[in-house]
Amino acid sequence: MSSSELLVGDPAPAIEVETFLKGEPLTGFAPGCVYVVEFWATWCGPCATSIPHLTELQARYPNVPILGVAVGWTDLMVVESFVRDWNDRIGYRIAVDRRPEREVGRSLMRAAWCDAAFQKGVPTSFIVDRAGRIAWIGHPMDLDTPLAAVEEGRWDLAAAADAHRSQLVREKVREAQALERAVRACSEMGDRDGMLRAYDAAFATEPELEPTYGFGKFKQFAPGGEAALVYGQHLITRAAANDINTLFKIGMSLTRQGETLREPVSEPAAALAIQALDRVWSLAGSEPNPRLRMRLSEAYAYALLAAGRRGEAMSYARAALDAGKATGANEEVLAPLQALHERCVAATPSVPTPPPSMICDGDSCRLADS
């Protein structure tokens, strides 16, 4: 294993922050004390959702310092404003991650903790045990059970470390990271063919990566072109047939291209989008949650509109708007849905009223039913 990895059982990396915005500063991990380090961002909805839970945990475990480290920031004032607005609703320490010296790459703690532990997103939390070792890594909403066990001395670190290492092997996280590095290197050089070769090589040796990373390869083909349609069909029917996220992105990408490109969406592309979205709906079940229903209905409206099925598109656009309102979405979310509905209405020809029928008898005529 690489020395750059951070696994359960490893010593906790250093605390390196720009500044503390709330609570008494921490400079390190004192022996004999348990800590929680959580990484979050002001723009992350799930991070905000986790704040009350972390505050409750801090109140429950006053001897366990909880440190929230803000990442993904560009303007310190934005983070300061966020913390000030939440005020006492944040009941634990808050710090701001330190930027690299040359302002390039990840901030320091995020790189040393999250990236090294194969944690791509936020929020992500770590428990540091009394010996300064990483005892647990996961979502802050799942902290309760492991934190109680670590604090009470019941945590089996060896078993947790074995389970963590087995999970990394099972989920192919190292192979996925290698693929991401290879694709990124080719992308920085503008080598599209190299990117495709990297995807193909990875999928040939690790087919488990294709359901998740196949969309990355799909995006390298000309939108709506023959190669995109052939590979998209492969993903929908085989490689990613059970991956809702990939299927949904295929459906959206094929139909939304007409919003930004001069070329309209082709009928084959629209048909493939509908096929992908049909599969999403079947996997989601007959009653998906309102947010998914909103996004699915929106995607269907675009696809059906591109396919020339304007009446159906109008119905789905209306359903998307209704679902958006049901979720309590703000105007920023609802405005595009309203615009889509109006676009579908405008594209749907009104049904002309048929002329009245006439009944004629000799030289006299009358309107039918008059």
**Residue 292, pLDDT score:** 87
Cα separation, 197 vs 342, in Å, equals 43
Q: β-pairing, 35-40 with 66-70?
A: parallel
**Residue 244, pLDDT score:** 93
**Residue 318, pLDDT score:** 95
DSSP string, 291-327: HHHHHHHHHHHHHHHHTT-HHHHHHHHHHHHHHHHHT
Q: Residues with Cβ < 8 Å from 248, sequence gap 6 or more?
A: 276, 277, 280, 295, 296, 299
Q: Residues with Cβ < 8 Å from 361, sequence gap 6 or more?
A: none
- Say which residue the tokens 């921490």 belong to: 26
pTM of the model: 0.75
Q: Do 306 and 264 touch, CB atoms closer than 8 A?
A: yes
**Residue 370, pLDDT score:** 47
pLDDT digits (tens, 9 = 90+) for 301-329: 989 988 889 999 999 999 999 999 988 88
Q: Do 29 and 132 touch, CB atoms closer than 8 A?
A: yes
**Residue 203, pLDDT score:** 97
Helix (H, G, I), strand (E, B) or coil at 40: strand
List per-block mean pLDDT (blocks of 10 residues) for the chain, which spans 370 residues.
Answer: 82 97 97 98 93 98 98 94 97 95 76 95 97 98 98 98 97 95 96 97 96 96 92 97 94 68 73 94 84 90 90 94 90 91 87 55 54
- Could you give phi then psi for residue 39, rounded to 5 degrees? -105, 130
**Residue 344, pLDDT score:** 92
- Say which residue the tokens 């998740």 belong to: 212
Q: How many residues does the chain have?
A: 370
Q: Which domains does the chain have, with CATH numbers?
A: 17-170 (3.40.30.10), 177-218 (no CATH), 221-347 (1.25.40)
DSSP string, 192-255: HHHHHHHHHHHHHH-GGGHHHHHHHHHTTSPTTSHHHHHHHHHIIIIITTT-HHHHHHHHHHHH
- Could you give phi then psi for residue 51, rounded to 5 degrees? -60, -50
Helix (H, G, I), strand (E, B) or coil at 42: coil
